[in-house]
Amino acid sequence: MFDNKSGEYRRAFAAYLRKGTPIKRLGKQEAITTHYIWRTRDDDKVRASHAANEGRVFAWDSPPPTGHPGTDFGCRCYAEPYDPSTAEYLTIRLEGVSDSVTPWTSRDFVRHYFQGAGRSVTLRETGNLDRIVKRYMEYAEEGTLNAIVSAARSNPVGRYSDYFENSYDMTGIVFSIGDTTVRGDFFGTCELDGENIITRGTIIFSLNDAFEDPLDVGIEVIDIEETIFENILRPIEDHGRSRFGFLPSGPKREGIYTGEPYKISDTWTGAFEGRIRVNLLESTFK
Ligand SMILES: [Zn+2]
């Protein structure tokens, strides 16, 4: 027999509801937990309401508004067993990461360079905040968690604050965004609970970048790929054509039209909460 609170049973029951797969009796029992951590497949296909649940702890007795993982039609999310009396965890829930426009392409960044008169832009105004933040979290989530843990451990009762700052290469996302600096200022509170520190707090992220001379990029590229030509050189040519009525002459791009460099920046926040071992040797967070 298995207990109907076990994860295996839940998964089997979810599969039964979805596909009519008969519920099998399983020889090996999974540890029975009252809670679970919501896990998504962490790809583009995860629906937004489920992505928002990633890493959060829920009780089997009290499903979130989305229902339990795996129960909604087509849902591939799953429940990771979680024992609140012993488990360590630290999760960050990002807030305010939303774009309101169709993402600018590299061409749009170049256009703003020539036509924007140096006006600063926010990343969300360019429609690229969500993608850049996702990439950033891939690079930096572990380091961010470790920074919080080490600040919390150094002051396990009361308040703490600190910051981290780093540069990241974001050119794979938008050609025009290069080395991007992200700083996180975080503020937390701690209390002791036996062998554990319970902590929660807020991170304010701020991103800074600048779009400078796109010709710097073009000149260094000897064998010009079509994508680069499309993204960078063609808009310059088009711009020249409309402004001066003729194309820039020849393959040399020195000394043709200049634009105004502009700043690209944005801020967003994250709420974090967690339970971490006081003893470093027993902890998964180093
Ligand atoms: Zn799902």
pTM (two decimals): 0.62
Q: Is residue 119 predicted with pLDDT exceeding 50?
A: yes
d(C-alpha 269, C-alpha 165), whole Å: 15
Percent of the chain predicted with pLDDT > 90 = 34
User: Where do the domains of the chain lie?
Assistant: 7-85, 93-213+259-282
CATH 3.40.1350 for domain 93-213+259-282: no
Q: What is the pLDDT of residues 48-86, one digit of tens each?
A: 999 999 888 898 999 999 999 999 999 999 998 887 666
Task: Please tell me the distance between residue 73's alpha carbon and the centre of ligand 1 in angstroms.
Answer: 9
Q: What is the predicted pLDDT for the residue at 37?
A: 87
d(C-alpha 232, C-alpha 252), whole Å: 14
Percent of the chain predicted with pLDDT > 70 = 70
Task: Please tell me the distance between residue 101's alpha carbon and the centre of ligand 1 in angstroms.
Answer: 26
Q: Which residue has the tokens 């140096």?
A: 118
For residue 186, the SS3 value is: strand
Q: How confident is the model at residue 281 (pLDDT cuts 50, 70, 90)?
A: confident
Classify residue 118 as left (phi > 0), alpha (psi -120 to 50) or beta.
left
The region of weakest confidence among 132-146, 207-221, 249-263 is 249-263
Q: What is the pLDDT of residues 193-247, one digit of tens each?
A: 888 899 999 999 999 988 886 654 443 333 344 555 555 555 555 555 555 444 4
Task: Please tell me the distance between residue 285's alpha carbon and the centre of ligand 1 in angstroms.
Answer: 27
Task: Please tell me the distance between residue 184's alpha carbon and the centre of ligand 1 in angstroms.
Answer: 29
CB atoms within 10 A of CB 120: 12
